[in-house]
Amino acid sequence: MSLRLPNPPLQAPDAEAGAAAPQKRYGVAIVGNDKIIDWLLPFLESYRDTNSSLPLYLIPYDDNVEMTRRAADLYGATYVAEEPVEIDKLSHELYPGIFNSNRRRLRKLQALALPLDEVAYVDVDVILFRDFTPIFGRLEAGKTEFIVASPSFEYVYNDRRSKYPFLDNVLLFNDGFWVTSNKYLTLSNFIETMKADSEIFHDVRKRGQLFAQPLVNFVTHRRGLKIELLPHVVPGASHESFYKAPGVTFKDGKPLDYEGKEIYFAHWAGATALPARGVFDPAWTEYSKAAWARFKK
């Protein structure tokens, strides 16, 4: 059985002392399958070490999930068994000539349909270093509606974006991590925006094996969501997460960026091989060893 009851809802971190804060449902969502089990297991081990109090939802990338479902059971994650019919339909409409395995990258959008008040989506080629609890309860209408960790200046749009004023001065971001609420962004918003503006999207989107990232950027920008970087909403947090980040140091086993700010997770975005010699790689290796030992018991 892959479903479990969610953990007790966490309270917003800024609740006044002595006051009964409204209960909110916070959780983390990932996408995985057996093809990337070597990435999935270290992620799950790091989640167990740092964020086990948060409900975790595992969205299947495809039907190749025998080991993935076992891993979900082992780590207490909720395996999301619902078929993402609307998402797959949208992916076929947007990318009709693209091989299925790439179109399925849009399945991360299923995070928006989970029974949560706020969701943190995280790519699975990641390990977590810190408790995510301080990240939740920071959303605010008209001010902070979508939180991202890292900018991505080159892998979102092409030069034709200059034709469209609504794309002026927007924050371009890596979509391997984001936090939002279905009060501000829903799957229906993606469908409606593409019905109205798919021609603009295809005109401006960056090509080159990029599918979800241009789409998530475009929809949030077209709908005018208030997007904020993580360090602007969580005191002491770093925007850094790239696995090749320079100047990283460790304190009590937790990474700090070159300014001494707290790095919440490491992301091997664009990596063509499993971690080996980078600054975060020893931690990934230890999580991998521990996860495989647990998985093979």
Which residue bears the tokens 């469908």? Answer: 191
The helix-helix angle for 281-295 and 37-50 (nearest 10°) equals: 100
Return the amino acid letter for 193: T
pTM for the predicted model, two decimal places: 0.89
**Phi and psi at residue 261, to the nearest 5°:** -85, 155
Confidence at residue 101, expressed as pLDDT on a 0 to 100 scale: 65
DSSP state of 172: P
Return the amino acid letter for 139: L
Taking the C-alpha atoms of residue 138 and residue 234, their distance in angstroms, rounded to an integer, is: 8
Confidence at residue 211, expressed as pLDDT on a 0 to 100 scale: 82
Taking the C-alpha atoms of residue 119 and residue 141, their distance in angstroms, rounded to an integer, is: 16
Confidence at residue 219, expressed as pLDDT on a 0 to 100 scale: 97
State the alpha helices, DSSP H only, in 140-248: 187-204, 212-222, 230-233
CA atoms within 13 A on the CB side of 3: 5
**Dihedral of the alpha carbons of 188, 191, 193, 199, in degrees to the nearest 10:** 180
The CB density around residue 1, as the number of other CB atoms within 10 Å, is: 6
Taking the C-alpha atoms of residue 192 and residue 123, their distance in angstroms, rounded to an integer, is: 25
Q: What phi-psi label fits residue 203: left (phi over 0), alpha (psi between -120 and 50 degrees) or beta?
A: alpha
Confidence at residue 201, expressed as pLDDT on a 0 to 100 scale: 94
Confidence at residue 96, expressed as pLDDT on a 0 to 100 scale: 81
Mean pLDDT per 10-residue segment, the chain (297 residues): 39 46 88 97 98 97 96 97 89 76 83 97 97 97 96 90 94 96 96 95 86 94 97 96 96 96 95 92 97 95
Identify which of 149, 155, 156, 96 has the alpha carbon closest to the alpha carbon of residue 121.
149
Coil, helix or strand for 277? coil
* Sequence-distant contacts of 171-174: CB under 8 A, at least 24 apart: 171/227, 171/229, 172/217, 173/148, 173/149, 173/217, 173/227, 174/148, 174/149, 174/150, 174/213, 174/241, 174/267, 174/269
CA distances, 277 to each of 198, 256, 273, 281 (Å): 42, 18, 11, 6
Judge whether 243 and 267 are in contact, CB under 8 Å: yes
Identify which of 111, 108, 125, 126 has the alpha carbon closest to the alpha carbon of residue 35.
125
